[in-house]
Amino acid sequence: MAIPEEFIQELKSRADIADVVGSYVKLKKVGRNLMGLCPFHNEKSPSFSVSSENGFFHCFGCGVGGDVITFIKQIENLDYVDAVRFLAQRAGMTVPEGNRNDGLTQLRSRIYEANREAARFYHKQLYSPEGREALAYLRGRQLTEKTIIHFGLGYSPKSRFELVNHLKAKGFTNNELIQANLANQSQRGNPFDRFSDRVMFPIIDLRGNVIGFGGRIMTDIKPKYLNTAETPAFNKSRNLFALQFAKNKANGQLILVEGYMDVIALHQAGFENAVATLGTALTQEQATVIKRYCDEVVLCYDADEAGQKATTRAISILRPTGINIKVVTVPSGKDPDEFMKSYGDQGPGRFRMLLEKSGNDVEFRLNKLRSRYNTDITEQRVEFLTQAARLIAGLDNSIEMDIYISRLASELNVEKSAIKQQVRRFSRQHFREASQREQREIRAQMSADHDRINQEKRYHLRAANAEEALLALLMTNPDIAARIFPKLPAEQFMTSFNRKVYDTLKRRFDNGFDFTLTDISGEFSNEEISSIAGILASHPRENHPETAASEYIQVLQEESQRLTPEQLAQADDATILEQLKMLKEKKK
């Protein structure tokens, strides 16, 4: 849908980017801008910059950037129109609907509606005669009526057409049901229910939308769990089961478990800060989401080999976020659900004791490492200490490093100085490797070899740099636009992407519209807006913008007259001599 220009201008004035971003990221004033830890990638030192003056954000670490609308699009996983609606609701405004099209926004809205109706259908089926076995199964897992209703649990009938027929009668089309992954398509093109004879777990996002389902079979048939596939409304890598409940009960801590039943059992026992991933290992996107709602994560995965591997992987993803990590190992190889059932009324108290006795992630990794070696044998003791020193060298806090060095020295009767020397050697190695990576990244950025948006930049580096500087000047000094646009036709831009941005700015100027990042964000993809935000972040405000603009225009005029290597290869002698003459005159 087309949103009126006047509405976007009003929204822009009310949705201050510092306020909006500050509700997700802890920001601190640094010079003219605000800085914080990037919410889109794991980092320990702040590289995420917000410019209130110019209305954009940019991360110098991962390169993501944009305006306030782009920020909401990315952090809430919305499209442009839904992001505008989100900000409008926050600002107490109502988006003019106008004529809606049949695009992605409408499809996503229909999927939400279909999922909500499906959740109601599944829940009703649980209390039908056909759902008797499923209800008995849930009660056999010691779930109370209150818990079943709270989580909206349900049952998908054995027939492969009951949900499809129900939703079609409600006005949903075959395509909408297939796009929602509530139905699969037969070879003849007819839809049939994706879930059959399973206990159903609705997956709900932070805004209360039913975005998908998990279905558990009640027999030994594989797969035990079947989940909604990726849809326009569901991204399993960015969502967590029960976070909509847990975020309000976190109080600085979330408990991360493996499965739906583990979460539900913990919530029923009073641990309402439990969440789970959605049938996959923990992702960096989920770690970023977790970081927004707590300062500490307690990992409580299964005690089997797969669970221990998942714990180790989760630690490697969570630690770079700076979040505190604890690890709980449930005794006797039980998962949290089995633990609660086995101890009955004593379960909550016993589980709280496990939480209080839980060690941190470093202790978990050292214990796991220790289990691989017999430290009574000299060679194995040396290997264990070497690997332990390598692990400790990866820590950031020098006090933390010293504590573990002291413990190891005392435990294995080894001089502390010897372990410390080994740790320092590995630390220097880590520093060298990090420095080399950083230098490679800087060289790549300077050469523009990895610029995915403006791939022509590497072939026209001088011209592209002048183009970007000029674009930044125009967007931060719109008062000079009337004198710049007539001087410089878009054809003199050497790179297509920068020419597209310049064309957009000029078109808006000619029509009497503003052309800040927010004004143009609806015309570019997230990656393109990030690129433009990077251009703005890389070019501080000029004291003499018109003088600087004239210099950049001169560079573009010079570069536009140069022959490319391909043109030189095909040029005759007269053309080459003319080119050389022109270059000599420019140098005088």
pLDDT score of 20:
94
SS3 annotation, 48-79: EEEECCCCEEEECCCCCEECHHHHHHHHCCCC
Structure tokens at 204: 């709900």
Residue 260: other Cβ atoms inside 10 A: 24
Domain edge (last residue) among 59, 90, 121? 90
Residue 489, exposed/middle/buried by CB under 10 A (0-12, 13-18, 19+)? exposed
- Could you tell me if 334 and 245 lie in one domain? yes
pLDDT score of 278:
92
Beta strands in 170-245 (DSSP E): 183-185, 191-193, 198-204, 210-217, 225-227
- Could you tell me if 186 and 214 lie in one domain? yes
CATH number of the domain within which 472 lies: 1.10.860.10
- Could you tell me if 182 and 136 lie in one domain? yes
- Residue 574 CA from chain centroid, whole number: 56
| Residue 216 counted as domain residue | yes
pLDDT score of 4:
83
pLDDT score of 440:
63
Task: Name the 3-class secondary structure at 185.
Answer: strand
| Residue 99 counted as domain residue | no
pLDDT score of 448:
56
pLDDT score of 98:
59
Alpha carbons 396 and 408: distance in angstroms, whole number:
18
CATH number of the domain within which 283 lies: 3.40.1360.10
- Could you tell me if 243 and 340 lie in one domain? yes
- Could you tell me if 240 and 349 lie in one domain? yes
- Residue 1 CA from chain centroid, whole number: 26
Q: How many domains does the chain have?
A: 5
Alpha carbons 489 and 499: distance in angstroms, whole number:
10
Residue that has been written with the tokens 């699009």 in this structure: 73
Residue 251: other Cβ atoms inside 10 A: 11
pLDDT score of 439:
67
Domain edge (last residue) among 68, 90, 112? 90
- Could you tell me if 220 and 258 lie in one domain? no
Domain edge (last residue) among 233, 250, 282? 233
pLDDT score of 441:
60
Per-residue burial over 75-101, b = 16 or more CB atoms within 10 Å of its CB, e = otherwise: bbbbebbbbbbbbbeeeebebeeeeee
Cα end-to-end distance, the chain, whole Å: 56
Per-residue burial over 208-235, b = 16 or more CB atoms within 10 Å of its CB, e = otherwise: ebbbbbbbbbbeeeeeebbbbeebbbbb
Instruction: Show the low-confidence residues of the chain (pLDDT under 70).
Output: 1, 98-102, 438-451, 562-588
| Residue 445 counted as domain residue | no
What pLDDT digit, counting tens, does each position of 273-289 carry? Answer: 999 999 888 998 899 88
Q: Residue 193 is part of which domain span?
A: 104-233
Alpha carbons 137 and 135: distance in angstroms, whole number:
5
pLDDT score of 284:
87
Q: Backbone phi, then psi, for 509, in 5-degree steps?
A: -60, -45
